[in-house]
Amino acid sequence: MDTASGSASQYRWLTDEEQRVWRSYLHATTLLEDHLDRQLQRDAGMPHIYYGLLVQLAEAPGHRLRMTELAMKVKITRSRLSHAVARLEKTGWVRREDCPSDKRGQFAVLTEKGHEVLRHTAPGHVAAVRQALFERLTPEQQKALGEIMEIVAEGLQPNEAGADLPWLR
């Protein structure tokens, strides 16, 4: 196989087994995300990413986070977060507050209405996660999956200053 920049022998392509694992991973994660999105749309009228935002705020001290910190926690661009928070403000689930120590900074704050939506939605979401993932795996497989995902995440989370990360854009 020749490419514009050289022959295939210059590249370390995936083995057949690596290709099988990679495609299985992509297929499973796409199906899982779609499954969870559909469950949350059906039960609460929100996409999975909005649920994740509400959970982060619910777990934060005072149910509030700086917008930049929230973007970092959910791994999305600040622009996408701003759009999502605007939609959540329209539902009354989140409000923004100015940061007193930084005129440009803002907090996202979970409202009581948002907290109530989480209380109502969480049991169905946990059941969907349990059914789609944990009930299909043995305890040993669950442990291995957790360890594998921690290793992958650790390797992809740059620690150096100035790293090109979406939530810093």
The confidence score (pLDDT) of residue 166 equals: 64
Strands in 94-99's sheet, in edge-to-edge order, are: 64-66, 102-110, 94-99
Instruction: Please give the share of the chain, as a percent, with pLDDT higher than 90.
Output: 75
Is the whole-model pTM more than 0.95?
no
The confidence score (pLDDT) of residue 168 equals: 59
* Below-70 pLDDT ranges, the chain: 1-9, 159-169
The confidence score (pLDDT) of residue 155 equals: 85
